[in-house]
Amino acid sequence: LAGLTSLVLLDCDAPNGWSKLGTLTALEAVTAVRPQVANLKALRTWTRLRSLTLGNAGVKSLAGIEAFHQLERLTLFLVRVGDLSPIAGLSRLAEIVMRGPTNVKDLTPLGQLPALRRLEIERVGIGARDDIHVRSIKPLASAAALEEVLLPGVSIDDGDVTPLIGLPRLRRVKV
């Protein structure tokens, strides 16, 4: 695949070889199931990427995603990433969906996303190890473009949902 430099869409269920795909600089949409990469640093050349879906626990860090300046949609499914700070500078990121992100505690980087319209964080599974706890949703008060905040099955540790009150475009809330 590394030789397909004009490729714009990649939907692949393959655990190995991702670090060699940095040559695919035309990519606009990627769905990667079971990628075995510690982070996204080797893929920093994907600067045209607008949509990224990562599935399974192979990815341990979002380091490198900060190079994806065109990114508009990010979906993380059962990815055990805890630090969201690499996405803080992605000014076009409008939608984030996280299903089963048990290590995410701090939403501060999400408040720094000026285009963020939709945030969905959802519990997957029924055991105690599947519980999702975020410290607070106060950082979301800075995300003025938010229209939807969907947090089914997420425990907000400080119990305060009032930071959402001041969001002028908010239309849907599920907590």
**Cβ neighbours of residue 137 under 8 Å, at least 6 residues apart?**
107, 149, 151, 156, 160, 161, 163, 164, 175
| For residues 117-137, average pLDDT | 83
Band of the pLDDT at 137, cuts 50, 70, 90?
A: very high
pTM of the model: 0.93
Band of the pLDDT at 3, cuts 50, 70, 90?
A: confident
Mean pLDDT in the chain? 90
Beta bridge partners of residue 11, listed in sequence order: 31
| For residues 64-86, average pLDDT | 93
Q: Which stretch of DSSP H or E encloses residue 150?
A: strand 148-150
Q: For residue 108, give Cα distances in angstroms to 24, 61, 89, 141.
A: 31, 16, 12, 10
Tell me what pLDDT residue 34 has: 80
On the question of pLDDT at 142 being above 70, the answer is yes
Token duo for residue 46: 């994907």
On the question of pLDDT at 125 being above 80, the answer is no
| For residues 107-134, average pLDDT | 86
More confident residue, 64 or 36: 64
Q: Which of 36, 6, 3, 5 is nearest to 18 (CA)?
A: 36
Band of the pLDDT at 33, cuts 50, 70, 90?
A: confident
Band of the pLDDT at 41, cuts 50, 70, 90?
A: very high
Tell me what pLDDT residue 128 has: 61
Tell me what pLDDT residue 146 has: 98
